[in-house]
Amino acid sequence: MPKLESLTFDNGFARLPEAYYSRVCPTPVPDPYLVCYSPEALALLDLDASEISRPELIETLAGNQLLPGMDALAALYAGHQFGHFVPQLGDGRAILLGEVKNAAGEGWEVQLKGAGRTPYSRGGDGRAVLRSSIREFLCSEAMHALGIPTTRALCIVGSDRPVYREDEETAALVTRLAPSFVRFGSFEVFYYRNQIEPLKQLADYVIARYYPDLATRAEPYAELLREVTRRTAELMAQWQAVGFSHGVMNTDNMSILGLTLDYGPFGFLNAFDPSYICNHSDTGGRYAFDQQPDVAAWNLTKLAQTLVPLLSVESASAAIADYPQQFGQAYIARMAAKFGLPASGDTVPLLMDALQLLAQNHVDYTIFMRRLGDFDSAAGSLNAPLRDLFPDRAGFDAWAQRYAAALRQMGSGDNERGMAMRAVNPKYILRNHLAEVAIRRAADDHDYSEINRLHRLLTRPFDEQPENESYAAEPPDWARQIEVSCSS
């Protein structure tokens, strides 16, 4: 693979006028060191794993120097935060270094999160702490392994420079990769300023770079909105099916490419709770787990509104009108596959009744779905490993009889169906307590081995990995005290 010196930079976003960003260099940190990295993400830049230990690369990913060809900047955007419009946000602690073009022709923007103050820091220090950086690194790569569209995390670089949040912590920088970090809020800032030409130019840029097939359509902006809607519906279906809660679904955290963007107070479901709130700051539950699909629909209306100057109100409305159906179909298809059932109308009551039973019995969602792959559909089978998860044994038995009958009616073979179900029902997810153990060891002892262990584990979420069985267990009692917020 090429060496560091062979990286080719394209920097498409930097070629836009400076109305879209401010050029700003990262603020250096003293004595940076590598905490962890993802070989899979490094390979996206065509770099061999040996390159990550080079001092030149560590200095670059610490924000202490730029490589030839990089063009550092912080992007401007606005957004609706918890339903309220904020006219100017922007990259307050993230700096885009440049865009690497790999041998496959893919463009990967390289961004440092925690790189210091920018014109959009709004009084903040522009830094990230080790705690939040570990969570973002692990979850970005875990989501990719689950098959969910996401930004990627190349590495964490640490420094013993103190950063003050609730307590004194140490600084860290996450190197994030994505084809683009353009978000819904990137359009909102120009719409609310009534700056139509920059709005149009941004839409043209997004179409030309990421949706080129739309450029020749009769209504390219309506088609752009329609495609973003489709991707967002699919993403929400994937989040809901795996039990992922984002925590801060502001419009400035919504990707124009349908990626999972900006990992802060996220959480995966333990006991199935539709109203689960993973963000301690979300006191009203706006971004609760069961609200995510509707919030995404609301956010799409805000994006559609920004594009009205480029198309008619009717076209904008029509472009997002199919979202409920698109989400519903995508969600039922994914849930049916998790249950080993056809995605038909007859399946829906069986799925919904199972989820209601899980909620009533506070059953661990991931463990239930994984064990379901071993379900014995023969008449009279107790299916004790599943049954034992439910305090309401009679309720489970009644549902299990219906489920077994449905499987027998479709002629489903247990072994073949089980293999297919285990391919879509992960055994391992990034539970908060697993991340917390890695964080404590890193913060207290500079021991990063648990981060690396979790990273390796979560890159194979569907494999049995018997040596890691304990990582698939329910959370311990102490984990109930873990709280995450927007500072996490």
Which active-site residues does the annotation give? 252
User: 3-state DSSP call for residue 312?
Assistant: coil
Q: Are 421 and 339 in contact (CB under 8 A)?
A: yes
Query: Which helix or strand (DSSP H or E) is residue 161 part of?
Result: strand 152-164
Instruction: Please name the residue that has the structure tokens 């353009």.
Output: 182
| 118, 164, 480 from 127: Cα distances, Å | 10, 9, 28
How many of the other CB atoms lie within 10 Å of CB of 69?
A: 14
φ/ψ of 231, rounded to 5, equals: -65, -40
| 330, 344, 346, 405, 406 from 402: Cα distances, Å | 24, 16, 12, 5, 6
**What CA–CA distance (Å, rounded) separates 391 from 350?**
20
To 10 degrees, the CA torsion angle through 308, 309, 315, 317?
A: 10
* Six token digits for residue 38: 């993802």
How many of the other CB atoms lie within 10 Å of CB of 275?
A: 10
Please name the amino acid found at residue 45. Answer: L
| 172, 400, 447 from 357: Cα distances, Å | 42, 11, 41
Instruction: Please name the residue that has the structure tokens 């490419």.
Output: 257
* Six token digits for residue 11: 């920097």
Give the CA diameter of the chain: 69
Sort 231 into a burial class: Cβ within 10 Å, 0-12 / 13-18 / 19+. Answer: middle
